[in-house]
Structure 1
C-alpha cells in the first residue's frame, strides 16, 4: 500500500506539471570557455563561444555524463523504454549533445542509504540527486563542483526568474562560502500551506455557521461527533481527523496549531530577535490541551494513534469524518474518492480560524528537499544547467511537447524520467489565475499556457456535468483551495521558517532522537496518557538532549546571512 507521503508526492507532481508537473564528464578536464575547450564543429551548433553562451546549445562533439538517481516506486515507462533509455535521455542526446550513462539507479526505498555508501567511498557520478544532509556532507568533504558561474552564464532568463521568485532563498540553501554547490529542486512553497476542510452537507444539515474562529471549529467538531450528521442513528462519526503521524499533508495538525499561534517544527523569531524552536513555545501547550480535550470527548478517533493517512482516508471517503486540516491537493485524494462513493458529499476549504482576534498565520515548510549536485572534477558542470534549462523550457516556458515529455496520452508520467527537474514557484497559483480568467471570459484560452490546458479541461468537464472533475475544480476552480491561498498571499499571513540552511552538526546527530521524543510525548498527551504538564518536562528534555545546542548553531548560522 502506498504511504501517505508517497501519495502526496505523486499528487503534487501531477498537479505541478499539467496533470504533468541529475554534471558531467567529457573527454578531458577542460573547463567551458577556456582556450583548451574542444572546438565545435562548424554548422548547426556554431562556434565554441556560441555553444557556451546558448543556454540550450548542443555540445558538438557530444559529451558523456554519468548519473546516480532514484526513481519513485510508482515510476513507469513507455513500452520499450527503460530507466536507461527513455524520452528524456534521448532528448539530452539529440537536443543538448549530452549522452547519459547511469552509474546506478534505484527504484523505491533504500536510495539514501546506498548513496551514503557511495559518498563515503568517493565512488561518485558526475550528477547525483542528494538530500540536504548529503549536500552538507559532500560540501564539507570538498567533493562538489561550484556551479555558480555555470548558472550565471548558462541558465535561461526564465529559469533565473523562477529560482529568484523566493528572493533567492532556495539558491542560498545550496551556497557555501559563496559557492553554489547544488541546484535545488524548486517548487511552490505556497502549495504547502494548511487549509481547513469542512464537510458542507453536514454543516448545512446541522444548521451550523461556516467557521471563522477556533470557537466555531470546536463547536462544529462537537456537533459532527454528537448530532448524528450522517443520519444513521449511530454514534459513529468524528468531528476532526488526526493520524498517528500528527503532521502532514493529509491529515495534519499544523493548521489547528496555527490557529493557536503555534507552529510545528519551525524556527521563528522571539521578541528579542533570537531564533527559537516553535515546538517548545507556550502556545503549543495550549493547542495540545485542546486536542487532549477533543480526544477525551471522542471528537477524534480513539484509535488515531494506530492509523496512517491511508486509513484516515478510508474513514473520510466512507463518511465517518467531517473536518480535517490539510493541503490544497486533498480534493484529488482522498476527497474525490468520497465524492465518487457519495455524490451528495460536499467539502469546502477555509482560511485558518484563529483563537483570538489576531489573524492566524499559515506555516510554510521550506520547499526544497532534493538537490542536484556535480562532482568536483566533472569536465562540464554547465551541462547540468543545460539539462535544467531543457526541463523548464519544455515543461513550463514553452510547454508544447507535453504529450511526450510531460504526461503521455496513455498516462505515463514522463516528467519523472527527467534527471534534473522542478517547477516554477508560482506554477499552481498561475494555473489557478489563468483558469479563473478563462472561466470569467467565455473560456478564452488565448492567454493560457499549454501545460495548464489539461487541468482547465478537467475543471470545465465538471462544470459541464462530469463528477470526475470535482477534485480538480475544488483545487483550481471558483471557491477552491487556491482561492483561499490567494487570500493568504494578499493578506500576507504566510509564515516561513527563519532557518533554511543545511542541517547543523547537532541536528545531524540529535534530530532523530528529538523527533521521536516529540511525537511520543505529543501523542501521549493528546491521548490522555500524560497530563498536559508533561509538555513542560518535554521542553526541558528537548533542550537538554541537544535542543539548546541546535538553537545556538541556528542563531550562529542566522548571524551570517545577508
Structure 2
C-alpha cells in the first residue's frame, strides 16, 4: 500500500510539473524566442494602450542641447505623450551623445544589463545576436506590425532587414529613415547657364562639359579667369554620385556581387576609369580648384559663398547652408536643382546609397512584452513618419502636432524629444507645391517648414533657401530608383581591422589620378594594392557570409 501511495505521489508531481511547463511565459518556441506572446485579436489591439502602463528601459541618443524650461531628456512633454497614448513609460537607462553609444552599449553587454529595447547599428546588433541577448522578432513583427509599418520597414523588398536577418529570421526591426537625406541632387548656377546660353544637362557627360565652360567662358562676366566648374574637396564629397552615373558604385564599404557569385568593392570597378579621366581633364583645365585636395568642406565651401563655383553635387537641403550665402553675397546669383543625369548610354541614373535606417530596434531576450516594441513603432509610423498612410489622424498625430506649435518645443525639435523617431519616403516637395498653388496656409506633418516657405518676413536669402529646398530640391528626388550594396550584413572580421585603411587607399589614389600625379591606368595599380591590403580577404568573407 505504501508503495502504491508513493507511486501516486510521484505521478502527481510529474503532472504538476507538466502543467506548470505548459502555463509558463518563458517557453522557447521554434524561432528562438523565450517569451510567449499572444497574438492581437484585431487591428485595434496593435495600437491599444497598456492599462495599467508598463515600464521599459531604453538607450537614448541625446541630440538636444537646450531643452524647454522644466524639461529634460527623461521628463518632457513628448515622453509624457508616449505614456498617455501608449501606456508605455520609457526610462532612459542609457543616455549619452550618439558618439558615445557604442562604448555605453559595450559596457552594458559586458555586465549583461542592456536596456529592454534599443536602437543600435548593424555591428552592435551582430554582437547582441552572437551573445544571444535579443528576442527573435519574426513572429512578433508579423503578428503585431500594422500594414502601414510593414510598408515603411519593408520597402525595397525588405532590403532594410538584411543586416539583422539570420537564417531567414528577423532579430531586430529596421528604424527607417528617408532616402531623401542621401539622394544626390546636382545644384547648378542657373544665372551662369543663362549667361552662357546653356541648357540644363541631360547626361553626366553634358554636365561635365558645362563644368568646363563654367571655368573657361567667364560666366560671371568680370573678364577674369577666376571661376571653377565643379566642387570637390579633400574628402571627394560628391564624387561617388558622379561615379553612379557611369554605373560605378565607389562609396566606401559598398560591395558588388559579380556574375560568378564573388564580390568586389565597387570602387575597384574598371568602369571607374572613364569618369576619373574626365575629372582629370577638368582639373588640368582649371575647372576644379587646384587646392581642393588640402581643403575640408568648410574651407572649400568658401568658394561657393564667394560665387566662384558653378556645380555643387549635394542634397535637397543644401540651399539652407552655404548656397544661401552665395545668393546673399553675389548680386544676381541663383541656383537650380537638376535631377542627377545618367552617363551617355546608361538608361537612368541610379545612385548607390547606404541603407536608409537610423539603426535597428531590438527587444532584450526574455522581456515580458516584446510586442510593445512593435506597438510603439506602429504609433510612430502613423503619427509621425507616414501619416499619409493612416486612414485618419491618430491620437499620436494630433497630440504631436499640437505640442509642435509650442515655440520652445519647436526650437528643441519635438521629434528629438521623443524616445525615437522614424521617417518614410514622403515627397514633401509635391505636397508643398500643391499647397502653395492652392493657397493653403498649413501643411500638416511639416507645418513649421511650410511656414518658412510661405513667410514674407524672413531675410531674402532665407526665403530663397526654403523655397529652393521644398519647391525644387525635393522634386529632384526619385525615391523609387536607388541601388543598395549587394552586401548589407555586419562588417567582417577583416573589414573591422582594415576598412579605414582601404578607405584611405581609395581616397589617396583617386585624388592622385584626378590631379594628374598618376595616369588613369594607374587605377590598375590601385586595385592591386586595395586587394592586397585586405580588399580580397573581405570579399572572400562576404561571399562566405552570403552563402
Q: TM bucket by the smaller chain?
A: 0.7 to 0.9
TM-score (norm 1): 0.80
Matches within 5 A, 1:49-60: 54-60=45-51
Maintained 8 Å contact 1:53/1:153: no
Residue of structure 1 aligned with 2:429, choices 429, 432, 437: 432
Maintained 8 Å contact 2:211/2:229: yes
Maintained 8 Å contact 1:214/1:259: yes
Residue of structure 2 aligned with 1:499, choices 478, 487, 512: 487
Deviations, residues 290-315 of structure 1 (Å, cap 9, x unaligned): 22332233221222223222233332
Residue of structure 2 aligned with 1:509, choices 494, 497, 521: 497
Pair 1:376 & 2:365 matched: yes
Q: Distance in 2 between matches of 1:235 and 1:407?
A: 50
Q: Distance in 1 between matches of 2:306 and 2:26?
A: 60
Pair 1:147 & 2:137 matched: yes
Deviations, residues 476-509 of structure 1 (Å, cap 9, x unaligned): 32xx2333324x84xx5x4332222222333233
Q: Distance in 2 between matches of 1:315 and 1:275?
A: 39
Maintained 8 Å contact 2:380/2:421: yes
Q: Distance in 2 between matches of 1:527 and 1:117?
A: 45
Give the Å deviation of 1:557: 4.2
Q: Distance in 1 between matches of 2:402 and 2:464?
A: 27
Change beyond 3 A, Cα 1:546–1:48: closer
Q: Distance in 1 between matches of 2:265 and 2:532?
A: 14
176-185 or 526-535, larger mean C-alpha shift: 526-535
Give the Å deviation of 1:132: 1.0
Change beyond 3 A, Cα 1:172–1:92: same
Maintained 8 Å contact 2:26/2:366: no
TM-score (norm 2): 0.82
Paired residues in the alignment total: 503
Maintained 8 Å contact 1:65/1:100: yes
Maintained 8 Å contact 1:224/1:239: yes
**Residue in 1 aligned with 2:445?**
451
Deviations, residues 514-553 of structure 1 (Å, cap 9, x unaligned): 1122122222332334333332122112222222232233
Report the 3-state secondary structure (helix = DSSP H, G, I; strand = E; otherwise coil) of the residue aligned with 2:346.
coil
Residue of structure 2 aligned with 1:472, choices 458, 463, 466: 466
Bigger share in helix: 2
Matches within 5 A, 1:232-251: 232-247=222-237
Change beyond 3 A, Cα 1:31–1:468: farther
Q: Distance in 1 between matches of 2:540 and 2:456?
A: 53
Matches within 5 A, 1:195-214: 195-214=185-204
Q: Distance in 1 between matches of 2:81 and 2:99?
A: 28
Q: Distance in 2 between matches of 1:131 and 1:82?
A: 25
Pair 1:481 & 2:467 matched: no
**Residue in 1 aligned with 2:83?**
93
Give the Å deviation of 1:104: 2.4
Maintained 8 Å contact 1:133/1:508: no
Matches within 5 A, 1:16-415: 30=25, 54-72=45-63, 75-107=65-97, 109-189=99-179, 191-247=181-237, 252-265=238-251, 266-270=254-258, 272=260, 274-342=262-330, 344-365=332-353, 366-395=355-384, 396-397=386-387, 398=393, 399-403=397-401, 406=404, 408-410=406-408, 411-415=411-415
Maintained 8 Å contact 2:262/2:540: no
Maintained 8 Å contact 2:324/2:464: yes
Give the Å deviation of 1:355: 4.0
370-379 or 78-87, larger mean C-alpha shift: 370-379
Maintained 8 Å contact 1:75/1:413: no
Change beyond 3 A, Cα 1:321–1:407: farther
Which of 1 and 2 has greater Rg? 2
Give the Å deviation of 1:263: 1.9
Change beyond 3 A, Cα 1:407–1:135: farther
Over the residues paired in the alignment, what is the CA RMSD in angstroms?
3.3
Q: Distance in 2 between matches of 1:318 and 1:257?
A: 27
Maintained 8 Å contact 2:180/2:316: no
Pair 1:549 & 2:537 matched: yes
Maintained 8 Å contact 2:153/2:175: no
Give the Å deviation of 1:271: 5.1
Maintained 8 Å contact 2:205/2:344: no
Change beyond 3 A, Cα 1:299–1:134: same
**Residue in 2 aligned with 1:11?**
none
Maintained 8 Å contact 2:241/2:352: no
Maintained 8 Å contact 2:39/2:144: no
Q: Distance in 1 between matches of 2:507 and 2:236?
A: 8
Change beyond 3 A, Cα 1:303–1:402: farther
Q: Distance in 1 between matches of 2:117 and 2:331?
A: 48
Q: Distance in 2 between matches of 1:407 and 1:105?
A: 26
Q: Distance in 1 between matches of 2:114 and 2:356?
A: 26
- Structure 1 unaligned spans of 5+: 1-28, 39-46
Give the Å deviation of 1:129: 2.3
- Structure 2 unaligned spans of 5+: 1-23, 30-34, 388-392
Report the 3-state secondary structure (helix = DSSP H, G, I; strand = E; otherwise coil) of the residue aligned with 2:309.
coil
Change beyond 3 A, Cα 1:360–1:139: same
Report the 3-state secondary structure (helix = DSSP H, G, I; strand = E; otherwise coil) of the residue aligned with 1:54.
helix
Give the Å deviation of 1:420: 2.8
